[in-house]
Amino acid sequence: MASPEPPVFTGLFSINGATRLYGTIGDPIRQLRLTALMPQVFAAVGANAVWLPFEGGPPLLQLMLDALRGRMRNLGGFTVTIPHKTAILPMLDRVSPRAQASGSVNMVKRDASGALVGDIGDGLGFVRGLEAMGHRVRGASVWLVGLGGVGGAIAAALCEAGVGRLLVSELDDARADAALARLSRFYPDVPVASTDTPPNGIHYAINATPLGLRPDDPLPFDPMILTPDVLVTEVIMSPAETPLLQRARTHGRRVHHGRHTLDHQVPILLDWFGIDANGIDIVRLVRSIP
Amino acid sequence: MASPEPPVFTGLFSINGATRLYGTIGDPIRQLRLTALMPQVFAAVGANAVWLPFEGGPPLLQLMLDALRGRMRNLGGFTVTIPHKTAILPMLDRVSPRAQASGSVNMVKRDASGALVGDIGDGLGFVRGLEAMGHRVRGASVWLVGLGGVGGAIAAALCEAGVGRLLVSELDDARADAALARLSRFYPDVPVASTDTPPNGIHYAINATPLGLRPDDPLPFDPMILTPDVLVTEVIMSPAETPLLQRARTHGRRVHHGRHTLDHQVPILLDWFGIDANGIDIVRLVRSIP
């Protein structure tokens, strides 16, 4: 969705000796998308900062936490991606209830007291993206397919946002049991249940599995067996339109793309790291970046 | 000295998930100049790489060596500056004779065997800058004032380049003794001696002290007590013309600015890190950058 007057980005950004370092730790990391967005965001808000890929497995996590604890003074913080989102949780001094309920952390910073703290923005970005497109989450009935890292984070964010009923499908029983236990502990008032079959009476169906990343993947579910009013939503950002969304859309169903989550994660990142947006509409800016 | 057709730099550079990380470790680090040069050099030679400031004291050194040993796989290497150049020497697996003779290291990489190796480019950059301006080093008589980090590196590079006679002045006796011992061990055939007074019969006089960085510093030596044919050279880059050079130049003496050393250090860095210059004249490129 094009913004009528996207903020202009000159293509110029510079690093100097006073630049603060941010980035994402992952293994692999070549797929990182934030490096394409954050320079333009930092430039727009006037932050002297850079977003970097940090490539490495588990030994890099501890190293970067040591760096953040004060050894590298111009390291502002980082996010983590595969395979670190669960492993980093017990390595931090404090983790938000949302992240504990998700079972994963993606944002790490050092707070004013010197403690290393973590939170998760994946599910929150999904919920905000949904609401920004006019889809109310509070009180809604939602079917969530997949309770891996992203699915667990979305489940927690949906519960936190006051979803009326959450039905989940996850083939891995142990993973499903652990996720349900976490959710019931942190959000005891939200009715959450497992289902093996597409449920009736839902407002939103969410694919939170990796199915659709590769062209020969099977569909995570067939959107045509859902009633026509169900919004079919996707967390996958690339391809922009997965076979699931394509099938739903070409048959007249309403769809919600994975890209909305990314658009809304960026302001969450700025908030987390305490970077002032200076009145810039960050979601609109991010949307204007191809 | 302006190059007639400086390579054009568009101002655009980008970071993505495959970008290799390089940088300089220092404390302080805000004064770093390479961050202004290297993006343009990387862009010109087609390297997907970025040059960063890494700010921290001694605990950061060990952390970055651990990162380089394989924990952070996209870390290409780094240079070190104040206060790390001497401290890092015994922490490496192998150090070049030039760096051992200098008593300091500024360039660190992981070689093909996985070993952490170090070298020093400061003195070599000075010698190459001198020679590029037509000042022959082999066989020359040189007076070097200051045997701190930079002075020690210049002394070693001058000896390595086959200087005919090296006279040194250093107020700190212990520092002078240690430097002379290192030089005689690695370059036993080069006559090196201390002097308390400006010597006669020299070709080049080099200020390698920090005097001249601040406007109220005294001169490291009075260039007017040297014979008129002596080239007065400076390692300080900012201010571009120190009071020493200004006094020498306004009295008709030949001078050589600190900036030449920086210009010639950049191709040394590319060589060290195994980054192909792709036929680009790097010194000319660097000279064109303000």
Q: What is the per-residue pLDDT across A266-287, written as a single tens digit (0 to 9) for each?
A: 999 999 999 999 999 999 999 9
Using the beta-carbon criterion (under 8 Å), do B36 and A50 form an inter-chain contact?
A: no
Give yes or no for B20 touching A (CB within 8 A): no
pLDDT value for A155 = 98
Can you give the pLDDT at residue A4?
37
For residue B250, the surrounding DSSP H or E stretch is: helix B243-250
| pLDDT tens, residue by residue, A21-35 | 999 999 999 989 899
Average pLDDT over residues B123-129: 97
pLDDT of residue B96: 97
- Answer whether A17 sits within 8 Å of B59, measured CB to CB: no
pLDDT of residue A2: 39
Which residues of chain A neighbour B17 with C-beta distances below 8 Å? 28-33, 35, 53
Q: What angle do CA A73, A29, A50 make, to 5 degrees?
A: 35
B117-120 own/partner pairs: CB under 8 Å, 24+ apart: B117/B92, B117/B93, B118/B88, B118/B89, B118/B92, B118/B94, B119/B95, B119/B272, B120/B85, B120/B96, B120/B153, B120/B156
Domain boundaries, chain B: 20-120+262-287, 123-257
* Cross-strand pairs, A231: A204
What pTM was computed for the model? 0.91
Q: Closest-CA residue in chain B for A60?
A: B71
> In this predicted structure, what is the pLDDT of residue A227?
96
pLDDT at B2 over 70: no
Quote the pLDDT of residue A15: 92
What is the mean pLDDT of the segment spanning B48-55? 97
pLDDT of res. A14: 83
Q: What are the CB-based long-range contacts (under 8 Å, 24+) for A135-139?
A: A135/A203, A135/A204, A135/A231, A135/A256, A137/A161, A137/A162, A137/A163, A138/A162, A138/A163, A138/A164, A139/A163, A139/A164
- Asked if pLDDT for residue A8 goes beyond 80, the answer is no
Partners of residue A30 in chain B, C-beta under 8 Å? 16-18
pLDDT digits (tens, 9 = 90+) for B66-103: 999 999 999 999 999 999 999 999 999 999 999 999 99
**Looking at residue B12, what is its pLDDT?**
52
Question: What local confidence, expressed as pLDDT, does residue A87 receive?
Answer: 96
Top residue of B10, B20, B24, B55 to mutate, by most chain A CBs within 10 Å, is B55
What's the pLDDT band for A197 if we cut at 50, 70, 90? very high
**pLDDT at residue A12 is higher than 80:** no
What confidence score (pLDDT) does residue A273 get?
A: 98
| pLDDT tens digits, one per residue of A228-249 | 999 999 999 989 999 999 999 9
The Cα-based distances of B30 to B82, B125, B283 in angstroms read: 12, 22, 24
Asked if the Cβ–Cβ distance from B72 to A63 is below 8 Å, we say yes
Rounded to 5°, the CA angle B149-B25-A13 comes to 125
A22 part of contact set with chain B, CB < 8 Å: no
**Min distance B40 CA to chain A CA atoms (Å):** 10
Q: Is A263:A287 a contact under the CB 8 Å cutoff?
A: yes
Q: Is pLDDT above 70 for B244?
A: yes
Q: CB–CB of B53 and A16 under 8 A?
A: yes
Average pLDDT, chain A: 94
Q: B8-48: per-residue pLDDT in tens?
A: 444 456 899 999 999 999 999 998 989 989 999 999 999 99
B109 an active-site residue? no
- Confidence label for A86 from pLDDT (cuts 50, 70 and 90): very high
Per the DSSP assignment, residues forming a β-bridge with B205 are B143, B232
Q: Identify the active-site residue in A38, A68, A85, A100.
A: A85
Hey, what CATH class is B20-120+262-287 in?
A: alpha beta
**Minimal Cα distance from B16: which residue of A?**
A35
DSSP chain A: ---SSPPP--SB----TTPEEEEEEESS-TT--HHHHHHHHHHHHT--EEEEEEE--HHHHHHHHHIIIIISTTEEEEEE-TT-TTTTGGGSSEE-HHHHHHT---EEEE-TTS-EEEE--HHHHHHHHHHHTT---TT-EEEEE--SHHHHHHHHHHHHTT-SEEEEE-S-HHHHHHHHHHHHHH-TTS-EEE-SSPPSS-SEEEE-SSTTSSTTPPPSS-GGGS-TTPEEEE---SSSS-HHHHHHHHTT--EE-THHHHHHHHHHHHHHHT---TT--HHHHHHT--
Mean pLDDT of A182-191: 97
Q: Greater confidence, B71 or A9?
A: B71
Assigned architecture for domain B123-257 = 3-Layer(aba) Sandwich (3.40)
Check residue B290 and give its pLDDT: 77
The verdict on B187 touching A (C-beta cutoff 8 Å) is no
Q: Closest Cα of chain A to B45: distance in Å? A: 18
Structure tokens at B103: 């008593």
Q: Which tokens go with A281? A: 């509409």
Distance (Å, whole) CA A237 – CA B129: 51
The reported pLDDT for the residue numbered A250 is 97
Please answer whether residues A156 and A101 qualify as being in contact, where contact means their C-beta atoms are separated by less than 8 angstroms.
Answer: yes
CA–CA separation, A240 vs A106, rounded Å? 22
Q: Is A280 on the interface with B (CB under 8 A)?
A: no
The distance of A169 to chain B (nearest Cα, Å) reads 32
Cα–Cα distance for residue pair B13/B15, rounded to 1 Å: 7
Strand A141-145 to B107-110 pairing:
unpaired
For B264-283, write each residue's pLDDT tens digit.
Answer: 999 999 999 999 999 999 99
Kindly state the percentage of chain B with pLDDT values over 70. Answer: 96
Distance separating alpha carbons of residues B181 and A75, to the nearest angstrom: 40
Q: How far apart are CA B46 and CA B278, in angstroms?
A: 8
CB B223 within 8 A of CB B232: yes
Rounded CA-CA distance B242/B209 in Å is 12
What pLDDT is recorded for position B13? 64
Average pLDDT for A70-87: 96
Asked if B101 and B186 touch (Cβ cutoff 8 Å), the reply is yes
Residue B5 has pLDDT above 70, yes or no: no
First-residue to last-residue Cα distance in chain A: 11
Q: What percent of chain A has pLDDT over 70?
A: 96
Residue B24 has what pLDDT?
Answer: 98
Q: How far apart are CA A134 and CA B201, in angstroms?
A: 85
Q: How far is B33 from chain A (nearest CA, A)?
A: 7
User: One fold for both A20-120+262-287 and A123-257?
Assistant: yes
Written as six digits, the tokens of A202 are 């839902």
Sheet containing A165-169: order of strands = A192-194, A165-169, A141-145, A204-207, A231-234, A255-256
